[in-house]
Amino acid sequence: MIYKSPAVSVIIPTYNRACSIRRSVQSVLNQTFNDLEVIIIDDGSTDGTKKVLKDFSDKRIRYIRLKEAKGAAVARNIGIKIAVGKFVAFQDSDDEWLPKKLEKQISVFKHMPLGVGVVYSGFWSIKGEERVYKPSLGTIIKEGDIHDELFKGNFITVQSAVVRKECFIKAGMFDESLPRLQDWELWIRISKYYQFKYIDEPLVNVYYSLNSISSDQDALVRAHEIVLEKHFRDIGKNRQLLANRYYYVGKLLCKQKEVRHSRKYFLMALKSYPLNIKFFSVLFISFFGSIFCKKFITKLETFKDYLHAERHIKSTKVKSYKND
């Protein structure tokens, strides 16, 4: 009997997600595109995760349990190493894929040249009763060569992406030294060598949980600092872009009431691109304390969101006029 490798390897890292892992796995098994394997890496769970997973009898599932927790990046890398599919997709143990996700993404790959390494989609970010469609309106370039656009911030959630496995050979896997933002940093590296393709519709439901790594703000600041250091040569080619990254780290620190530390980054932002009065204004306001600084930054962000919304409305009207 000749064994045929599945087209897609789906990797699901999990740690103490007995309450949500069933929904996550089932949403993968329910895909209309079913030529896949599901690699579940249990990162040393101490709850009933293993017991829940035993209820699945689908032969496409491969379950591996680590003796102790090593983090999602390590778990995903283990999955990548043993994956046999031509394409690799990632799912989180507390999120949900919509049924036609893989079908639509693999269909795009079939019509794209080999230079397209990643196909990703929009998604619903769900926090309680609130549902927000992402990527946001502020993301200008969503496909093609998105290397520089990614330096502005991450807009690709790992659960929405399907990646050619060869990308990991060329660009490497997840950086296990990062406390957060491992997916963003991976996209930055892959985008140096491959094009990205975007499907503008929500194909994933991403649920926010308070005890997830994404809620650790200290880890977020440190991760941004590491990404800045690691990719300084590329980011530094654009002084305005470099200044914006410094400003972003300063903003995070200010929101954490680390206002003295934030001034260092506001000052570096101002030195990198002195033409932006925002950097000078925030640096000045920071001397009045974290409360004033945080309020000022919040007002700036509200105004920025308003401008993006207005630009989107105008763009939509122009397109509608041309179609008429």
115 has a pLDDT exceeding 90? yes
Q: What residues are paired with 131 via a beta bridge?
A: 126
* pLDDT of res. 324: 53
Look over the chain and give the mean of its residue pLDDT values, rounded to a whole number: 91
Q: pLDDT tens digit string along 31-76?
A: 999 999 999 999 999 999 999 999 999 999 999 999 999 999 999 9
Q: Which CATH code, of 3.40.190.10, 3.40.50.10380, 3.30.70.1070, 3.90.550.10, is assigned to 8-213?
A: 3.90.550.10
Q: pLDDT tens digit string along 144-199?
A: 999 999 999 999 999 999 999 999 999 999 999 999 999 999 999 999 999 999 99
Q: Domain coordinates of the chain in residue numbers? A: 8-213, 236-323
Helices (H) and strands (E) in the chain, counts: 13, 9
* pLDDT of res. 303: 67
Mean pLDDT of 98-112: 98
Mean pLDDT of 305-324: 49
Q: Are strands 162-164 and 116-127 parallel, antiparallel or unpaired?
A: antiparallel
Q: Are strands 8-14 and 61-65 parallel, antiparallel or unpaired?
A: unpaired
Q: Are strands 87-90 and 61-65 parallel, antiparallel or unpaired?
A: unpaired
Helix extents (H) in 179-258? 182-190, 217-230, 232-235, 239-255
Residue 23, classed as helix, strand or coil, is helix
* pLDDT of res. 302: 79
